[in-house]
Amino acid sequence: WSLPLKSVFVTFPGDIIKNMTDTELADGYLKKFGYIDTLHRSGFQSMVSTSKALKRMQRQMGLEETGELDKSTLEAMKRPRCGVPDVAN
Amino acid sequence: YKTFAGDLKWDHQEVTYRVISYTPDMETSLVDDAFARAFKVWSDVTPLTFTRLFDGTADIMISFGKTDHGDPYPFDGKDGLLAHAYPPGEGLQGDAHFDDDEYWTLGTGPAVKTRYGNADGAMCNFPFTFEGKSYTTCTTDGRSDNLPWCSTTADYSRDKTFGFCPSELLYTFGGNADGAECVLPFVFMGEEYDSCTTEGRSDGYRWCATTSNFDNDKKFGFCPSRETAVIGGNSEGEPCHFPFVFLGKEYDSCTSEGRGDGKLWCSTTDSYDDDNKWGFCPDQGYSLFLVAAHEFGHALGLDHSNIREALMYPMYSYVKDFSLHEDDVEGIQYLYGRRAGPDPTPPQPNTPSPTSYPDPKTDPTDGPTDPTTTTRPVDPSKDACKLTKFDTITVIGGELHFFNDGQYWKMSSGTEGGLKGPFSISERWSALPAVIDSAFENLLTRKLYFFSGTRFWVYTGKSVLGPRGIEKLGLPDSVQKVEGALQRGKGKVLLFSGENYWRLDVKSQKIDKGYPRYTDAVFGGVPNDAHDVFHYQGHIYFCRDRFYWRMNSRRQVDRVGYVKYDLLKC
């Protein structure tokens, strides 16, 4: 068996860059859809609010409320959806 | 379900909408139909009605756009955010925006509606066979004019039904050229273009000139996308080029190589390495109907639901046979209540007490000797009481309207009674000609239909559609004018001309089968050459010259009288 080809990631001109880490994706998602109040963010508080925000998002999407960025939560964040926030603010 | 803070909702039931711009992915009539069906999802379970406007400001303004499209919430390229909408209210509130970096379909791959050909606008049937070969896209095979076409059945050789596919060589949409096709090559800013271009625009839409020189003529339209065109990328509208070379390797089909998100893409030239021209490959696309039904839920006041099967759930999932979840129904009825039983029937006004009227045997010109008691401050030449015949009489907004030669009078039934006018037709309905042969108000949609000669106009509030030929409704060429219109129950209207009448289905805008019928065969005892027929206060009136024949709901003529004295109250 040949070694698996190392996938080369190319930046395509005109592409809306979406190559981001899972954490960046999750953070952007929770902010965009109103789960994290983007105001008053600080270090320690941010950890608590991210876990709490994840639980709120998991409840909204009918997922298991682990407060963790698990596989099913990450997949849900990648699915096409409506742009209206889930948490009105 | 959830509603927005403060239970934001419309304070009226007749909600209006207007389509401001279109996507190149689907023929405009398919887009219109998808939106109409999406609104029907909500009007089926509430008292709400949705009326489409063609200009001016509607409650719900619908548009397509890409990335930064003019509000503070930019879209994000293909996939991800599909659309968004604002809760009810003024201005931007209530509007719906759709991301045009998406591939809009009916949810199951290219939705290609044909034009011309012999299939009467049927959809392409993919795959189809032609001369023993199978096709999954439109083709120019078999033609020398380079126009893409498709079969509308699985086997063209057997059925020979076909139509032409969306192509800039056939038509454009939007712009200012009434859908005329592109003229290629054309000159723009001194340069020659032999295909559609996004040059000169910041919104990424492809356009072309519909004359050979845009600089001189300023005539343009937007280019429909061919169903083989790539989505997004930097080659909008171009088809994949197979084979193509990427990182030195040759590809004969779409690939996800080079990407971390697994999306299939292709090069639109023979070498991506040389030209860097690419786009995403057409896929099943997103159902414009389903996404619109969701967004219109927001525009009516619903927020997101956490019920996975509900329409208002934030994530998209294609459903073949869609029906509203009870969670959606409960939410919208919390805001607007239930749809009251069958279609609302307009309240029947109480029939007027019989009033005496001069015996029609005497010559009406003798009439009562004392001068008319009306104190209307009108120019004598414009006195309705001096007219022996009107172009048409009809009821609009529950009031009798008398039209004659560019003017109209109205008999207000309220306390201040009496005839008002004359008013200028063109001031209130600017598109109308001076002579109106007949008119009616559709009581369900409040739309006003006006007929003059072989043309008709449809007014919705201030906005007008028309003139259009009455043959579009299915009336034969022999009909030179429509002389009367009678509402008959749900969405049906009888149109009278000469000795015949036809029944129009207002919703389909088509004449029902089995017509025409002879007027006097069904409405016994009235003249069969009435020049006006209308429905008023529970009775049907047939007018000829100065007289009217009044028929009650049992189709008995219960009165013959003078328009002048009984209706105009001269």
* Tens of pLDDT, residues B257-286: 999 888 999 999 999 999 999 999 999 999
CA B251 distance to own-chain centroid = 45
The pLDDT of A39-58, averaged and rounded, is 72
B450 neighbors B485 (Cβ within 8 angstroms): no
Assigned token pair, A52 = 């709490």
% of chain A beyond a pLDDT of 70:
75
Distances in whole angstroms, Cα of residue B377 to Cα of each of B353, B382, B567: 28, 10, 19
Per-residue confidence (pLDDT) for residue B60, from 0 to 100: 98
B516 neighbors B502 (Cβ within 8 angstroms): yes
The pLDDT of A21-42, averaged and rounded, is 82
ipTM, two decimals: 0.86
Assigned token pair, B530 = 């009435």
Q: What are phi and psi of B5, to 5 degrees?
A: -50, 130
Question: Which of B73, B86, B305, B315 best tests the A interface by mutation, with the highest count of A CBs <10 A?
Answer: B315
- Residues from A contacting B (CB-CB < 8 Å) are 7-10, 12-16, 18-19, 33, 59-62, 76, 78-84, 86, 88
- In angstroms, rounded to a whole number, what is the distance separating the alpha carbons of residues B547 and B530? 10
Per-residue confidence (pLDDT) for residue B345, from 0 to 100: 44
- In angstroms, rounded to a whole number, what is the distance separating the alpha carbons of residues B568 and B541? 14
The answer to whether the Cβ–Cβ distance between B77 and A60 falls below 8 Å is no
Distances in whole angstroms, Cα of residue B496 to Cα of each of B45, B504, B528, B541: 35, 11, 10, 12
DSSP calls for B219-258: -EEEPPPPTTB-BSTT-TTPBP-SSEEETTEEESS-B-TT
The answer to whether the Cβ–Cβ distance between A84 and B304 falls below 8 Å is yes
**Helical (H) or strand (E) element with A5:** none
Give the nearest partner residue to B4 out of A10, A62, A88, using CB atoms: A88
- In angstroms, rounded to a whole number, what is the distance separating the alpha carbons of residues A5 and B148? 40
Low-confidence ranges of chain B (pLDDT < 70): 341-381, 413-417, 490
Max Cα separation, chain B? 104
The answer to whether the Cβ–Cβ distance between B5 and A88 falls below 8 Å is yes
The answer to whether the Cβ–Cβ distance between B82 and A82 falls below 8 Å is yes
Instruction: Name the residue in chain B with its Cα closest to that of A80.
Output: B80
Per-residue confidence (pLDDT) for residue B414, from 0 to 100: 58
Q: How many CB atoms lie within 10 A of CB B261?
A: 12
Rg, chain B, Cα only: 29
- Residue A69's pLDDT band, with cuts at 50, 70 and 90, is very high
- In angstroms, rounded to a whole number, what is the distance separating the alpha carbons of residues B341 and A24? 52
Give the nearest partner residue to A83 out of B73, B101, B257, using CB atoms: B73
Q: How many CA atoms lie within 13 A of B70 on its CB side?
A: 11
Per-residue confidence (pLDDT) for residue B29, from 0 to 100: 95
Per-residue confidence (pLDDT) for residue B93, from 0 to 100: 96
- In angstroms, rounded to a whole number, what is the distance separating the alpha carbons of residues B508 and B83? 30
- DSSP 8-state symbol, B370: S
DSSP calls for B393-457: EEEETTEEEEEETTEEEEE--STT-SEEEEEEHHHHSTT--S---EEEEETTTTEEEEEETTEEE
